[in-house]
């Protein structure tokens, strides 16, 4: 197979064979054209009009987008929660399907930090506040309401928080 131009009729024959679902090897043997040439023509033309083989996907593209959107919004915390919610909508899927979707979408869970890291400017502001109020008595501090107080659970914890 010498490096030469492919005629328009051969090109059309290759395209029709690709659309019929023939393999590159079968087309190469039938039309005496290199597999590289067939590959180049296949890249130019949308030949994937043939149905894909194998098990059909449990989640259609709309449900998959819904799941990803709700995970990003924080509505779903776990794959099991998403699977339960989707089974209520009519999709019979398991939590592993949801986890596979998240993994294929490059969705990564990170453990939520317990506190925000202190930046240089916030450290400076805290130091100025401390120096300004160094002489205050305990009675003066009783009138101050702090907005960043820690939430304390009496029975157990809320578990790990994920973002």
Confidence tier at 141 by pLDDT (50, 70, 90) = confident
Least confident range of 23-32, 42-51, 88-97, 141-150: 42-51
Q: What is the number of structural domains in the chain? A: 2
Do 45 and 75 share a structural domain? no
Q: Is 95 helix (H, G, I), strand (E, B) or coil?
A: helix
CA distance 124 to 56: 58
Residue 126 sits at the vertex; the CA angle it makes with 121 and 132, to the nearest 5 degrees, is 125
Task: Give the global pTM.
Answer: 0.44
Question: What does the pLDDT average to over 110-124?
Answer: 82
pLDDT higher than threshold 90 for residue 124: yes
Confidence tier at 128 by pLDDT (50, 70, 90) = very high
Do 69 and 34 share a structural domain? no
* 100 domain residue, yes or no: yes
Distances (CA, A) of 43 to 2, 15, 37, 74: 21, 11, 10, 40
Residue 92 belongs to domain spanning: 61-104
Whether 38 contacts 27, CB under 8 Å: yes
pLDDT higher than threshold 50 for residue 60: yes
User: DSSP states of 44-67 as a string?
Assistant: HS--TTSPPPSPPPSS-HHHHHHH
């Amino acid at each position: 197979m010498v490096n030469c131009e492919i005629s328009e009729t051969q090109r059309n024959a290759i395209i029709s064979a690709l659309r019929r679902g023939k393999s590159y090897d079968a087309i190469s043997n039938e039309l005496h054209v290199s597999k590289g040439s067939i590959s180049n023509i296949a890249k130019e033309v949308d030949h994937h009009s043939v149905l894909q083989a194998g098990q059909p996907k449990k989640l259609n593209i709309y449900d998959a987008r819904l799941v990803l959107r709700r995970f990003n919004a924080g509505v779903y915390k776990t794959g099991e929660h998403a699977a339960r919610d989707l089974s209520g909508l009519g999709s019979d899927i398991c939590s592993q399907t949801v986890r596979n979707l998240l993994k294929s979408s490059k969705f990564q869970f990170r453990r939520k930090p317990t506190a925000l890291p202190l930046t240089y400017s916030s450290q400076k502001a805290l130091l100025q506040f401390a120096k300004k109020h160094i002489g205050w008595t305990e009675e003066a501090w009783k009138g101050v309401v702090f907005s960043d107080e820690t939430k304390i659970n009496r029975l157990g914890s809320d578990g790990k928080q994920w973002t």
